[in-house]
Amino acid sequence: MKINVHIAAQQLELLDDAGNTLRRYSVSTAANGPGEASGSYCTPRGQHIIRAKIGAGQPENTVFVGRRPTGEIYTPELGAQFPERDWILTRILWLSGCEAGFNRLGENDTMRRYIYIHGTPDSVRLGVPGSHGCVRMRNADLMELFDLVPAGTAVEIIA
């Protein structure tokens, strides 16, 4: 299995080993566009793997901070209380770059930048760039994807 994230189309595809599309989801990548530099708030391109899967068994809309559940469940009221928070919800697929000097090691290290595929509030518009570098997905879509892919799954992010 493999995941392709298409920045231009704002879509994520799950492919089987023969390259057939199994699922296609609308996503939101970085408002700042593609880029690998630390502090850029861009979505890193290239070859990655899912280094860790976080949140199995947590309820939908579980709020994560520092990859740990806070005990909160996202609601529109909670969102209104903290309008500037970058909500990381439901599950986390933590990405690690595979290309030394491009998206791995040094100032361009995807994993050290804490780049995830993660859930987002239902009110967040998908299909348009808007994240701080991560790949945002609908919570139900992310739960489905999370259950379909193992850690170590290849992820290619294509501009």
Return the domain boundaries, the chain.
28-154
Tell me, what's the pLDDT at 33?
98
CATH number of the 28-154 domain: 2.40.440
Tell me, what's the pLDDT at 18?
96
Tell me, what's the pLDDT at 120?
98
| Angstrom distances, CA of residue 90 to CA of 2, 12, 97 | 21, 18, 23
Closest Cα partner for 123 from 139, 135, 108?
A: 139
**Mean pLDDT score, 62-89:** 96
The band of 110, judged by pLDDT with boundaries at 50, 70 and 90, is very high
The band of 54, judged by pLDDT with boundaries at 50, 70 and 90, is very high
Task: Dig out the tokens for 16 from the structure.
Answer: 């089987």
Asked whether the whole model's pTM tops 0.85, one would answer yes
Q: DSSP for 18-80?
A: TS-EEEEEEEE-BTT-B--STTS--BPPEEEEEEEEE-TTPPTTEEEETTEEEEEE--HHHHH
The band of 36, judged by pLDDT with boundaries at 50, 70 and 90, is very high
The band of 14, judged by pLDDT with boundaries at 50, 70 and 90, is very high
Q: What is the spatial distance between Cα 26 and Cα 141, in angstroms, rounded to a whole number?
A: 9
Tell me, what's the pLDDT at 40?
97
Q: What pairs with residue 14 in β-bridges?
A: 3, 23
